[in-house]
Amino acid sequence: MTRFEFDITAKDDAARTGVIKMARGEIRTPAFMPVGTAATVKAMYPGHVRETGADIVLANTYHLMLRPGAERIAKLGGLHRFMNWNWPILTDSGGYQVMSLSKMRKISEEGVEFQSHIDGETIMLTPERAMEVQALLGADIVMAFDECTPYPATHGEAKESMELSMRWAGRSRKAFDANKDHARAAAVFGITQGGVYEDLRIASAKALKAIGFDGYAIGGLAVGEGQDEMFRALDFTVPHLPGDAPRYLMGVGKPADLIGAVRRGIDMFDCVLPTRSGRMGEAFTREGELNLKNARFREDTGSLDEKCGCPACLDYSRAYIHHLVRAGEMLGSMLLTWHNLHFYQDLMRAMRKSISEGTFSDFEGL
């Protein structure tokens, strides 16, 4: 059984394409991971998520530990069986959601004490508990527990936060390894922090490499700094990450963000944008983003994107989807989410092909 193997099959400047091999399946890179926060990619049947070309989905430690509970999911046979997704799952560690969703946080060296956004219960999340939860879920790729540094942050604040995350990364790795049954089949990724400060990002990358991980994520970006700052941070961070391990840019992004990040050597992404936009009536298309609520679509017999092969584009008109969105019908969210996920996977397919063919410097998108 292959636990975790990353084969880079082609490079084009800093961009690369390849495949991550794991027990539950292969992940073609650059990869986009649809977000299944609460053990469901919203408005999608898991089989359809697979059909779009997704090799892996993301699920959220924070949400699932609160509801229905990690121990409960373990008792029910693990997350894969629970949500009927039989391919790799990456779980984030909960660090980001503790910051963005919970109230009354108390951060200490030990971890974060917070109140559940669901029932107000007081909960302690530590690197050790985050690893335990992800093992209970049965995650294939586990993320180290970190503090997502807020933006903006002073150099001093970002340094203190990053250093705490690095100590937590060490504890995460140790706790991951201690659970041998799970570690035998799963992989663990570290997360660089350090805000938009070059010296801190380099120090963070160095600290993670010293610990040693299967993959290296870049956290704390796409939090309001803008695309230029984000690309600048990638420019000075990526060269300090190991070349033979996958690099994962967390929570990103728009199509142009993905292209720019792949150009800078990123291999993996996750983002709620295609799914959330779908539920808001928005479609990503080869002619740009469309808001299907717009009255200009009410008699448009064309498909969302005439070059797209997804069922929403093959079988339904913009006029119909406009009607569904206006009427608040669930099928509108279902079709737009399906299309958007298909569009994102089309983009990843096109990038992988372009890198393989050595033409990625000319790649401009779908």
Annotated catalytic sites, by residue?
92, 270
Of 45 and 178, the one with the shorter C-beta distance to a second copy is 45
The answer to whether 228 and 222 are in contact (CB under 8 A) is: no
Strands 247-249 and 215-218: parallel
Per-position x/- string for 41-80, each x denoting binding to a second copy as judged by CB under 8 A, each - no binding: -xxxx---------------------xx---x--xxx---
Of 115 and 317, the one with the shorter C-beta distance to a second copy is 317
Q: Rule CB under 8 A: say whether 117 interacts with a second copy.
A: no
Q: Rule CB under 8 A: say whether 276 interacts with a second copy.
A: no
Of 37 and 179, the one with the shorter C-beta distance to a second copy is 37
Tokens representing 86?
A: 């039989």
Per-position x/- string for 1-40, each x denoting binding to a second copy as judged by CB under 8 A, each - no binding: -------------------------------------xxx
Q: Which of 123, 272, 331, 350 binds a second copy (CB under 8 A)?
A: 331
103-107 β-sheet, strand order: 103-107, 112-115, 122-125
Of 153 and 292, the one with the shorter C-beta distance to a second copy is 292
Backbone angles phi, psi at 34, to 5 degrees: -60, 150
Of 39 and 133, the one with the shorter C-beta distance to a second copy is 39
Of 14 and 331, the one with the shorter C-beta distance to a second copy is 331
31-34 β-sheet, strand order: 31-34, 268-271, 247-249, 215-218, 187-192, 141-143, 89-92, 57-60
Beta strands in the chain, from DSSP E residues, in sequence order: 4-12, 15-22, 25-29, 31-34, 57-60, 89-92, 103-107, 112-115, 122-125, 141-143, 187-192, 215-218, 247-249, 268-271, 282-285, 288-291
Strands 15-22 and 4-12: antiparallel
Supply the DSSP string of 33-71, one letter for each residue: EEB-TTSS-TT--HHHHHHHT-S-EEEEHHHHHHTT-HH
Interface stretch with a second copy, choices 104-112, 186-194, 240-248, 317-325 (CB under 8 A): 317-325
Q: For residue 66, which of 24, 118, 23 has the smallest C-alpha distance?
A: 118
In the complex, the smallest distance separating the C-beta of residue 72 from a second copy, rounded to whole angstroms, is: 6
CA–CA separation, 61 and 68 (whole Å):
11
210: amino acid identity, one letter: A
Q: Rule CB under 8 A: say whether 317 interacts with a second copy.
A: yes
In the complex, the smallest distance separating the C-beta of residue 139 from a second copy, rounded to whole angstroms, is: 17
| DSSP3 helix / strand / coil % (the chain, rounded to 5) | 45, 20, 35
Cis peptide before 150 (omega within 30 of 0): no
In the complex, the smallest distance separating the C-beta of residue 67 from a second copy, rounded to whole angstroms, is: 6
Q: Rule CB under 8 A: say whether 323 interacts with a second copy.
A: yes
In the complex, the smallest distance separating the C-beta of residue 356 from a second copy, rounded to whole angstroms, is: 34
Beta bridge partners of 15: 12
Q: Rule CB under 8 A: say whether 315 interacts with a second copy.
A: yes
Subset of residues 79 to 108 that bind a second copy, contact rule: CB under 8 A: 82-84
Q: Rule CB under 8 A: say whether 297 interacts with a second copy.
A: no
Q: Rule CB under 8 A: say whether 298 interacts with a second copy.
A: yes
Q: Rule CB under 8 A: say whether 280 interacts with a second copy.
A: no
User: What is the total count of residues that contact a second copy (CB under 8 A)?
Assistant: 35
What are the residues binding a second copy (CB under 8 A)?
38-40, 42-45, 67-68, 72, 75-77, 82-84, 298-299, 301, 311, 315-317, 319-320, 322-324, 326-327, 329-331, 333-334
